[in-house]
Chains A and B, each alone.
Chain A
Amino acid sequence: MNQPKKLLIIDDDPDFVEGIKAILESANYSVDVAYNPKDGLKALSTLAYDMLLLDIMMGRGAEGIMIARKMRKDAKLRQIPVLIITGIREQMAFLFPGEPVHPRFVEVDELVEKPVEPQLLLDKVSALLKAAESKKDQAE
């Protein structure tokens, strides 16, 4: 039996985190949560995760972006697939109506917007994990 994949959620909204954590745990993932970017970065650098689920609008503004940038600079963290889950369009929609909001930060990343359908979330998570694994295999 394979070890369950370890996921990390960095999101400041406890209600939302509770929801997606329950969904992911029911699909047999092991899930850790950090409620602010600082704890998130600490967890990322101390423990090994298979995937990161990242919120954008935290703290003073788009601090999720800062985490993604730091990850891109780090050779090890760059390998971790990132699923960006954001309500940015809803929160700041007045700024960019109709424009795409998906900047690419790391090699394997994907963006879904809140609120997210449980099945879509699980599909994206497993697809990203698979993509990251095949990339790793290719590198080896």
Chain B
Amino acid sequence: MSSRPTFSEEIANLLHAAHGNPIRLCMQCGTCAGTCPSAPFMDHTPRRLIAMINANMKDEVLASNTYWYCASCFHCTVRCPCDIDIAGLMYALKRYSMWKGQHQPELIGPVFSETFVKTVFRSGRSYEPILATTYLFSFGLQDFITEAQAATTMMLKGRLPLLPPRIKRLKNFRRMIGRVIPVGGLE
């Protein structure tokens, strides 16, 4: 039937639910890169990343940190003259690299996402003290102390919960998630 898809087609397949996100139509205007608040921290700008995907540079794309530094502000998506959902594309790349286990090893993003989903899955709410400790130690001592000080202040003001929050009817919530992701033969 269909022949082996190229890398850019693989990415398009990941996005097919987004009505064939037209990354091929990118005209390299650079609006996304100019808009992106995280661009200074990325090793390739979003504009360059799209060009690399269209050129099927799979290894270079997966080795870049661009998609993990995306802050999901969706400013690029809103401003793109070609109607490309660039933030959606970044999510697709995150999924792709996590499913294949091919991303830069020392990134915080994958660990953070994993812990976030796990916490929400278990208790129905996110819980910052657990979330923060998953990545806090990878920073230097100075940053750690600054973060800890900020957390203490927030806790004293009652802005940071001491105990993990729980939602009502957690069982129903889990069943709901089971509809989306097949867990424990719930279907």
Decide whether A and B are members of one complex.
yes
10 pairs from A and B in contact (CB 8 Å cutoff):
A32-B1, A36-B13, A36-B16, A37-B16, A65-B180, A91-B98, A92-B181, A96-B184, A102-B182, A102-B185
On A, residues with C-beta under 8 Å from B are 12, 14, 17-18, 32-39, 43, 56-63, 65, 87-88, 91-92, 94-96, 99-105
For B185, list chain A residues within 8 Å (CB).
Answer: 100-104
A63-B17 Cα distance, complex, nearest whole Å: 9
- Give the nearest-CB partner of A69 in chain B: B187
Q: How far is the CB of B9 from chain A (nearest CB, A)?
A: 7
Q: Which 9 A-B pairs have the closest CB atoms?
A: A103-B187, A36-B13, A99-B184, A103-B182, A32-B1, A91-B99, A36-B16, A60-B17, A14-B4
B142 within 8 A of A: no
Q: How far is the CB of B77 from chain A (nearest CB, A)?
A: 16
> Which residues of chain A come closer than 8 Å to B15, judged between CB atoms?
59
Instruction: Of the listed stretches B43-51, B113-121, B124-132, name the one at the interface; the rest are far from the partner chain.
Output: B113-121
Q: Does B14 contact A (CB under 8 A)?
A: yes
User: Which residues on the B side are within 8 Å of A91 (C-beta)?
Assistant: 98-99
B17 touches A33 (CB 8 A): no
* Contact partner, A12, options B14, B98, B181, Cβ 8 Å: B14
Give the docked Cα–Cα distance between A65 and B121 (Å): 19
**Contact code string B1-33 (vs A, CB < 8 Å = 1, else 0):** 110110001100111111000000000000000
Q: Give the interface residue-count category, chain B.
A: 20 to 34
Alpha-carbon distance A62/B177, docked complex (angstroms): 11
Docked Cα-Cα span, A96 to B9, in Å, equals 31
For B145, the chain A residues whose CB sits under 8 A away are: none
Docked complex Cα distance between A50 and B184 (Å): 28
Partner of A34 from the list B2, B14, B182 (CB cut-off 8 Å) is B2
Does B183 sit within 8 A of A, measured CB to CB?
yes
B148 at the interface (CB under 8 A from A): no
B113 nearest CB neighbor, chain A only: A94
Q: Are A58 and B13 in contact (CB under 8 A)?
A: yes
Given the complex, which residues of A lie within 8 Å of B4, measured CB to CB? 14, 17-18
A101 CA to B183 CA, complexed, in Å: 5
Q: Is the CB of A59 within 8 A of B16?
A: yes
**Selected contact of A95 from candidates B1, B16, B118, CB within 8 Å:** B118
CB-defined contacts of A59 to chain B, threshold 8 Å: 13-17
